[in-house]
Chains A and B, each alone.
Chain A
């Protein structure tokens, strides 16, 4: 038995569960290209891990994926570089809000959050994990999860407010 997971094991896993993992990677990065890069980076980590340390390959890959995203993965300043763009967009308060797809705007805002806040929000609200489950997956305390989720959502609300959106519009979008 080889000491490490081999490529065939992971190809099999990706064939069966790859779509869900890929969706998570895209949600964490904001684009398909970056999602592929993140998933590939997670695969590299798993391939370098001794087999005996990987009882549940999918769970381990998933954990690696989220932790890479939460740790900034690439350059930590990448998200910061995008903030000015967002601020300049947000300053256009007189734009026709109806022309803006609010859902896409929220996703763009999400991508600009700090990596850990982003990972927590994706896990809590998109994956619908509990605070305890999120904390376990990210290897932090439930309090940290709660704090990050709170900060992240506050920023999302602030940025949404900057678009001068009102409740009726949101209600209309929902319907």
Chain B
């Protein structure tokens, strides 16, 4: 019986497999599947590391705000929705430990281009996905913008929505991507502008390393704040003129992520300055959904308008005021830690949260108060120190509309 069973089994298998042919394109399909799987693995790896990084911090820190909370349907008639596609999300998850960048920007005698009444802005970025809000010193919203990169019929486009609160208008814009780097890039460091234009995915740690290694920036000293070691990064060359700001970047040594960035125009009186405090958020679905811009009921649709461009991603668009200005529209900037800004839903934007640290300890954002440093002089207060009068040479403002 043994022999019979095996022979019958072989006959059965011969019958089963008789006439087998390999479908056309099987190897090509296998190659496509392999590529898709690689992207998925990368995405999972990125998300995993992001969760590991953020999870440690969030285990200690209660409450994560993210971009302004989901719009209140009662107060908004339309949602300016933008989102990342699968490939963009996979790419975004590989940058900056897979975290959403949040920058609270306070300006001091510097115009935010088109919206001069805005003294404070908040910018969130995750890969190509950007949302930017501007508010007055009293917390009243001035503008709300978002954008994402898209490819339509083979053409790359940046599309998004904008709301101008004082004008009670809103728009949808789709335009080719902004090609140029906004920050000066010496020939010895092509493409290493620091920071990079808003809206282009930037791997901050790699970007900072590149800028330092090619000599564009240098580490001037280290500082310690709330127990966290920071490297203070400054341009290797002094500002070329009064129109050039003095730039300082504070970088968390553990994560390589920026904690604060300041630009100060020392040539004027009083000096103009911009200070950005960074927070890093988990890319939860709620946070990603909050990149949508709510369009309030009754606002009028107008033709294409500006999309997120300025802020710390493109300082060339920030305009130092030409003369000492008592203008009520521009009040001395205050640190985001003390100036709540209304979100579109009316709730105040929360104060910056500690920077997640992969080492396990939360890394708080530096405060604006001077802090003694064991390795050097106290960390200066970038946004609050008075200085000479502004130079008076306004920079071009391509986004200013």
Given A125-B9, A153-B5, A7:B27 Cβ within 8 A: yes
Binds B, one of A43-51, A87-95, A131-139, A140-148: A43-51
Q: Give the residue among A39, A41, A167 with the most B Cβ atoms within 10 A.
A: A39
- Tell whether, in the assembled complex, residue A14 and residue B16 are in contact, meaning their CB atoms are under 8 Å apart: no
Q: Which chain A residues border B13 with CB–CB below 8 Å?
A: 27, 107, 110, 122, 126
Q: Which chain B residues border A48 with CB–CB below 8 Å?
A: 34
Chain B's closest residue to A167 (CB) is: B1
Interface residue from A22, A103, A121, A126 paired with B21 (Cβ < 8 Å): A22
In the complex, which residues 18-43 of chain A have their Cβ closer than 8 Å to any Cβ of chain B?
Answer: 18-19, 21-24, 26-27, 30, 32, 35-36, 39-41, 43
Interface of B is mostly: helix
Interface residue from A10, A11, A103 paired with B11 (Cβ < 8 Å): A103
- Tell whether, in the assembled complex, residue B7 and residue A174 are in contact, meaning their CB atoms are under 8 Å apart: yes
Q: Tell me, in angstroms, the Cα distance from A19 to B9 when the chains sit together.
A: 20
- Tell whether, in the assembled complex, residue B12 and residue A23 are in contact, meaning their CB atoms are under 8 Å apart: no
- Tell whether, in the assembled complex, residue B20 and residue A43 are in contact, meaning their CB atoms are under 8 Å apart: no
Q: Which chain B residues border A11 with CB–CB below 8 Å?
A: 27-28
Q: Tell me, in angstroms, the Cα distance from A14 to B29 when the chains sit together.
A: 13
Asked if A82 is an interface residue, CB under 8 A from chain B, the answer is: no
- Tell whether, in the assembled complex, residue A157 and residue B33 are in contact, meaning their CB atoms are under 8 Å apart: no
Sort chain A's interface into a size bin. Answer: 35 or more
Asked if A173 is an interface residue, CB under 8 A from chain B, the answer is: yes
In the complex, which residues 98-152 of chain A have their Cβ closer than 8 Å to any Cβ of chain B?
Answer: 102-107, 110, 121-122, 125-126
Asked if A70 is an interface residue, CB under 8 A from chain B, the answer is: no
- Tell whether, in the assembled complex, residue A44 and residue B20 are in contact, meaning their CB atoms are under 8 Å apart: no
- Tell whether, in the assembled complex, residue A125 and residue B6 are in contact, meaning their CB atoms are under 8 Å apart: yes
Asked if A156 is an interface residue, CB under 8 A from chain B, the answer is: yes
Chain B's closest residue to A12 (CB) is: B27
- Tell whether, in the assembled complex, residue B12 and residue A106 are in contact, meaning their CB atoms are under 8 Å apart: yes
Q: Which chain A residues border B2 with CB–CB below 8 Å?
A: 153, 157
Interface residue from A41, A103, A167, A174 paired with B12 (Cβ < 8 Å): A103
- Tell whether, in the assembled complex, residue B4 and residue A47 are in contact, meaning their CB atoms are under 8 Å apart: no
What's the least CB distance linking A129 to chain B, in Å?
13
Q: Which chain A residues border B21 with CB–CB below 8 Å?
A: 18-19, 22
- Tell whether, in the assembled complex, residue B16 and residue A27 are in contact, meaning their CB atoms are under 8 Å apart: yes
Q: Which chain B residues border A170 with CB–CB below 8 Å?
A: 1, 4, 8
Interface residue from B10, B23, B27, B29 paired with A125 (Cβ < 8 Å): B10
Chain B's closest residue to A42 (CB) is: B30
Asked if B152 is an interface residue, CB under 8 A from chain A, the answer is: no
What's the least CB distance linking B135 to chain A, in Å?
51
- Tell whether, in the assembled complex, residue A23 and residue B8 are in contact, meaning their CB atoms are under 8 Å apart: no
Asked if B31 is an interface residue, CB under 8 A from chain A, the answer is: yes
In the complex, which residues 1-49 of chain B have their Cβ closer than 8 Å to any Cβ of chain A?
Answer: 1-2, 4-13, 15-17, 20-23, 26-31, 33-34, 37
Q: Which chain A residues border B29 with CB–CB below 8 Å?
A: 40
- Tell whether, in the assembled complex, residue B12 and residue A104 are in contact, meaning their CB atoms are under 8 Å apart: yes
- Tell whether, in the assembled complex, residue A156 and residue B9 are in contact, meaning their CB atoms are under 8 Å apart: yes
- Further contacts, 9 of them, CB under 8 A, given A18-B26, A19-B22, A32-B20: A7-B28, A40-B33, A43-B26, A102-B8, A103-B9, A103-B12, A106-B12, A125-B6, A160-B5
| Top 3 A-B residue pairs of the complex, sorted by shortest distance between their CB atoms | A103-B12, A18-B22, A43-B30
Q: Which residues of B contact A (CB under 8 A)?
A: 1-2, 4-13, 15-17, 20-23, 26-31, 33-34, 37
22 CB < 8 A contacts A-B:
A7-B31, A11-B27, A14-B26, A19-B22, A26-B16, A26-B20, A32-B20, A36-B26, A39-B26, A43-B30, A44-B34, A102-B12, A104-B16, A106-B5, A106-B9, A110-B13, A125-B6, A125-B10, A170-B4, A170-B8, A173-B8, A174-B4
